[in-house]
Amino acid sequence: MSFFRNTGSALITALMLVVIVAASVTVVVTMERVLLYKTKQAEAVTQAFELTSGAEAWAYQFLSTYLNSSDEEVAQIHWPFVMPKLMMNNTKISGYLYDMQSLYNLNQVVVDVRGFARLIQYADPKISLTQALELARNVAQWQSKQVAEYSGQDDSAYYASQDPPYRAAYQAFADKSELRLVKGFDQALYDLLSPYLYTFPEKAASDININTATPASLIALSDKISPELATAIVAARDEKGGFRSLDEFFKLPAVKKSQVEAVRLSVRSEFFRVRTQVTYKKTSIRIDTCYEAKKEDNGNSKIRVLSRAVVPF
């Protein structure tokens, strides 16, 4: 009996060993499959990312043409400009080119507190002028230690009390999403403001392109421009087919009423963004590429990439 018991015990032990070995083999095979899948995914993402260079080449060519076009030709461009779609084999590439100077540059708040306060009120009419000015000052103090010290307002205790704690940046915004870190700005207010904002750290005060400016950007120019007046200016611009010069813009009756000065205004832009979506096999990525495109003093065209970023869907 002890023999059968020992044999039975040995058999159970052997079966257990077989199960353990089989399970181990299954785990190894599964891990290999997972690693293979991840490798293929990584290769697909890499390939898709490399394919965006085609869209960037198209944007470079478009911007070269833009720089060598007359003000009249530029005024008639409809933004965003649609990139020709490319479809072949397992690849699909599409995209849009945006004029960023139709928006408000967040990095100029440090020299334009009142303009940003007006934009805040436009985005959320429930916010009073006093509250909007306080929010705008918080942004200026986040950007500049000198402004913060001059104001006599020290928000370091507020930022230190957050979870996790952090400090004011005391530098230009790298991305508009950083606005959510500034005192007084929550996700809800950021979502209201985001469509009207852009950031280019290398140039704090950039011109507003009157041929592409949104009503929000126009409102930021002067406290004489109401939402209704801004809408009227945009409608007149669209009916006219754009402005060939600042003189044409200032001849509009609606603009004359606003008493806007010819400061920070232009009929052309220097900053642009291309949003490219690439689908390669079953992998899709979306990338934003920001450009500076301008004519130098010697007449040569200068086009350079300022940043690239993968954008979530």
- Domain coordinates of the chain in residue numbers? 1-107+196-313
Kindly state the tokens that stand for 66: 């833009």
Angle (deg, nearest 10), helices 129-143 and 113-123: 130
What residues contact 21, with CB distance under 8 A and at least 6 apart? none
pLDDT recorded at residue 42 = 67
Q: What is the DSSP letter of 268?
A: S
pLDDT recorded at residue 100 = 93
Which tens digit of pLDDT belongs to each residue from 84-140?
A: 888 878 888 899 999 999 999 999 999 899 999 999 999 999 999 999 999 999 999
pLDDT recorded at residue 271 = 92
pLDDT recorded at residue 5 = 45
What residues contact 210, with CB distance under 8 A and at least 6 apart? 237, 243, 246, 249, 265, 266, 267
pLDDT recorded at residue 26 = 46
Report the mean per-residue pLDDT for the chain. 83
Which tens digit of pLDDT belongs to each residue from 7-16?
A: 445 444 543 4
pLDDT recorded at residue 203 = 53
Which tens digit of pLDDT belongs to each residue from 40-84?
A: 556 766 777 777 788 888 999 999 999 999 999 999 899 999 988
Helix (H, G, I), strand (E, B) or coil at 278: strand
Query: What is d(CA 150, CA 152) in angstroms, rounded to the nearest whole number?
Result: 5
pLDDT tier at 31 (50, 70, 90 boundaries)?
A: low
pLDDT recorded at residue 37 = 47
Exposed, middle or buried, 81 (CB in 10 Å: 0-12/13-18/19+)?
Answer: middle
Span 218-245, average pLDDT? 90
Q: Are 265 and 210 in contact (CB under 8 A)?
A: yes
